[in-house]
């Protein structure tokens, strides 16, 4: 059967992996897809690299715009990244009636509404399995595997760099800065790690999952984002003593008041499976009303795991491209005319549990002052731990876990607690999720 022709934009790590896997597993992929899938042209600014990787197996060019207009190309794989030229190229490819497969989470989270509308208009598919959690087929699970369910929430470890750093901090009791440096040396963190450690990458992925879980339009601007750079090893130790681990989670939840969209370090019970996801691995928990909790685990990044997701999309497009567009899987899980604009809940209105750590003078009445303030704000304590002060030390740490409370109440209480003369320095506040 005539092969389906792919134009690959960007032959970096993931592009190279896609090229390699598609070639290595060509026979098995053809047996699945029903016809060969061939990369016929690669575009990259670095022509030399493109020539080296492709080794004469296909055309190479430095003109990506020529590729998206090439009448011989059926599917464009976009691996350039970012929202600049990548967006132009994707829209141009769609306008030219080409199907698109992309790993570009930043582009979809910020410009997805526009891109999917254009794809719908043109009757082409846009595959994005590789945009979230690398090789884990989580987009497919949400979009097709769990269609029976009213999805209640999703909570995921969706950034490998930060999970690696947190695992190392806990394992070795080292401070954030030292572990980050080590992660950079090992290639687990980029030279400029901002996107990862500040939670922006996780927020992009969360935005995409939230849209397909709830049939909501992409709402990246509504995500509350808190990274891991201020996390202290002491809190990881205290969390451990209380039976919890700290993970950077992307959480989206449907509540009566609106959709929660938040990325932040989170205490989770150590006995949960997801608390034991270590190193650069990813895992996503999904709670559906019928299925209950399901978990999906695997490598969230890297050349071949990401290529696995890209090629799965290529096979999907190959299997489905002759079907009329109304009878394909809808881009965002819900039919285009059934998408809605749900209210995004401001973080101040989110209700969850909290971990508080304060440094206090070790003298009578301190606890009474603090607990009275919490009571004033209707915040109740579930567990408390006070560190035994060392000999001669006049200050100590108090750690408290609260019951569920609204974030603005805890914030108001914190302002008052920090103003107490017996309380030294800023209070540390982290969020806690039971994930049940």
Residues assigned a catalytic role:
205
Q: What does the alpha-carbon distance between residue 380 and residue 402 come to, in Å, rounded to a whole number? A: 6
Choosing from 242, 298, 402, 409, the residue that interacts with a copy of itself (CB under 8 A) is 298
Nearest residue (CB) to a copy of itself, 336 versus 346: 336
Q: Does 295 engage in binding with a copy of itself (CB under 8 A)? A: yes
Residue 289 CB coordination number (10 Å): 10
With beta carbons less than 8 A apart as the criterion, state whether 9 and 79 touch: yes
Nearer to a copy of itself, 148 or 419 (CB): 148
Nearer to a copy of itself, 32 or 404 (CB): 32
Nearer to a copy of itself, 98 or 299 (CB): 299
Report the site for a copy of itself in 132-171 (rule: CB under 8 A). 135-137, 140-141, 144-150
Helix, strand or coil for residue 68?
helix
Give the footprint of a copy of itself on residues 301-320 (CB under 8 A).
304-305, 307-312, 315-316, 319-320
CB of 364 to a copy of itself, least distance (A): 44
Q: How far is the CB of 84 from a copy of itself (least distance, A)?
A: 28
Over the window 103 to 132, marking each residue x when it contacts a copy of itself by CB under 8 A and - when it does not, the resulting string is --------------------------x---
Of 183 and 212, which CB lies nearer to a copy of itself in the complex structure? 212
H or E element: which one contains 240? helix 233-241
Specify the residue, 48 or 341, whose C-beta has the smaller distance to a copy of itself.
341
The gap from C-alpha 57 to its chain's centroid, in whole angstroms, comes to: 35
Residue 243: CB atoms within 10 A of its CB come to 13
CB of 352 to a copy of itself, least distance (A): 24
CA-wise closest residue to 62 among 43, 48, 80: 43
Q: Report the residue number, 250 or 330, with the smaller CB distance to a copy of itself.
A: 330
Burial of 248 (0-12, 13-18, 19+ CB in 10 A): buried
Interface stretch with a copy of itself, choices 17-25, 51-59, 169-177, 414-422 (CB under 8 A): 17-25
Within 261-280, which residues bind a copy of itself (CB under 8 A)?
273, 276-277
* 307 CB-near residues (< 8 Å, 6+ apart): 14, 17, 18, 20, 21, 22, 130
Single out the residue of 19, 116, 244, 334 in contact with a copy of itself (rule: CB under 8 A): 334
Smallest separation, CB 314 to a copy of itself (Å): 8
For 7: left if phi > 0, alpha if psi spans -120 to 50, otherwise beta; the answer is beta
What are 283's strand-pairing partners?
157, 297
User: Which residues are 131's β-sheet partners?
Assistant: none
Dihedral of the alpha carbons of 25, 31, 34, 40, in degrees to the nearest 10: 20
- 326 binds a copy of itself per the rule CB under 8 A: yes
The answer to whether the beta carbons of residues 207 and 216 sit under 8 Å apart is no
Applying CB under 8 A, among 66, 186, 323, 426 the residue interacting with a copy of itself is 323
Positions 198 through 257 that interact with a copy of itself (CB under 8 A): 215
Q: Which residues, numbered 21-60, are part of the site for a copy of itself (CB under 8 A)?
A: 21-22, 24-25, 28-34
13 touches a copy of itself by CB under 8 A: no
Q: Please state at what angle helix 105-122 crosses helix 85-95, rounded to 10 degrees.
A: 20
Per the listing, tokens 């881009």 go with 331
Selected from 15, 193, 227, 288, the binder of a copy of itself by CB under 8 A is 288
| Helix, strand or coil, per DSSP, at residue 304 | helix
Residue nearer to a copy of itself on the CB measure, 312 or 360: 312
Exactly one of 220, 297, 354, 355 binds a copy of itself (CB under 8 A); that residue is 297
Query: Residue 269 in 3-state DSSP?
Result: strand
Determine the Cα–Cα distance for residues 36 and 381; give it in Å rounded to an integer: 61
Interacting residues of 407 by C-beta distance below 8 A, sequence separation 6+: 347, 348, 349, 350, 351, 352
Taking the complex as a whole, the smallest distance from the CB of residue 215 to a copy of itself amounts, in Å, to 6
Chain residues that interact with a copy of itself, rule: CB under 8 A:
17, 21-22, 24-25, 28-34, 129, 135-137, 140-141, 144-150, 215, 273, 276-277, 288-299, 304-305, 307-312, 315-316, 319-324, 326-330, 333-335, 338
């Amino acid at each position: 059967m005539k092969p389906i022709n792919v134009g690959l934009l960007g032959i970096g790590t993931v592009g190279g992996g896609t090229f390699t896997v598609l070639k290595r597993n060509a026979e098995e992929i053809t047996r699945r897809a029903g016809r060969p899938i061939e990369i016929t042209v690669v575009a990259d600014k670095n022509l030399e690299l493109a020539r080296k990787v492709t080794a004469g197996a296909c055309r190479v060019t430095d003109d990506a715009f020529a590729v998206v207009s090439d009448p011989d190309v059926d599917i464009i794989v976009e691996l350039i990244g970012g929202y600049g030229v990548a967006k132009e190229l994707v829209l141009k490819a769609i306008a030219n009636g080409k199907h698109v497969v992309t790993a570009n989470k930043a582009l979809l989270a910020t410009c997805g509404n526009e891109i999917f509308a254009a794809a719908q208009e043109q009757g082409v598919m846009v595959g994005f399995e590789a945009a979230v959690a690398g090789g884990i087929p989580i987009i497919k699970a949400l979009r097709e595997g769990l269609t029976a369910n009213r999805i209640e929430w999703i909570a995921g470890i969706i950034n490998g760099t930060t999970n690696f750093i947190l695992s190392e901090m806990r394992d070795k009791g080292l401070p954030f800065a030292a572990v980050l440096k080590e992660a950079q040396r090992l290639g687990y963190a980029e030279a400029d790690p901002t996107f990862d450690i500040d939670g922006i990458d996780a927020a992009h992925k969360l935005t995409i999952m939230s849209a397909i879980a709830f049939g909501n339009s992409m709402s990246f601007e509504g995500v509350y984002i808190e990274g891991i750079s201020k996390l202290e090893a002491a809190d990881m130790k205290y969390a451990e003593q209380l039976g919890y681990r700290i993970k950077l989670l992307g959480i989206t939840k449907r509540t009566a008041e609106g959709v929660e969209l938040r990325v932040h370090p989170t205490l989770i019970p150590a006995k949960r499976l997801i608390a034991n996801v270590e190193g650069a691995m990813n895992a996503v928990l999904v709670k559906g009303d019928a299925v209950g909790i399901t978990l999906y685990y695997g490598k969230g990044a890297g050349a071949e795991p990401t290529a696995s997701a890209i090629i799965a999309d290529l096979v999907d497009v190959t299997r489905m491209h002759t079907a009329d567009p109304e009878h394909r899987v809808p881009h965002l899980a819900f039919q285009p005319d059934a998408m809605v604009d749900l209210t995004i809940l401001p973080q101040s209105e989110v209700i969850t549990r909290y971990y508080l750590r304060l440094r206090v003078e070790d003298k009578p009445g301190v606890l009474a002052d603090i607990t009275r303030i919490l009571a004033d704000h209707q915040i109740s304590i579930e567990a408390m731990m006070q560190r035994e002060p060392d000999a001669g030390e006049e200050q100590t740490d108090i750690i408290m876990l609260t019951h569920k409370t609204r974030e603005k109440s805890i914030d108001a209480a914190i302002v008052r607690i920090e103003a107490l003369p017996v309380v030294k320095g800023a209070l540390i506040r982290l969020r806690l999720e039971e994930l049940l």
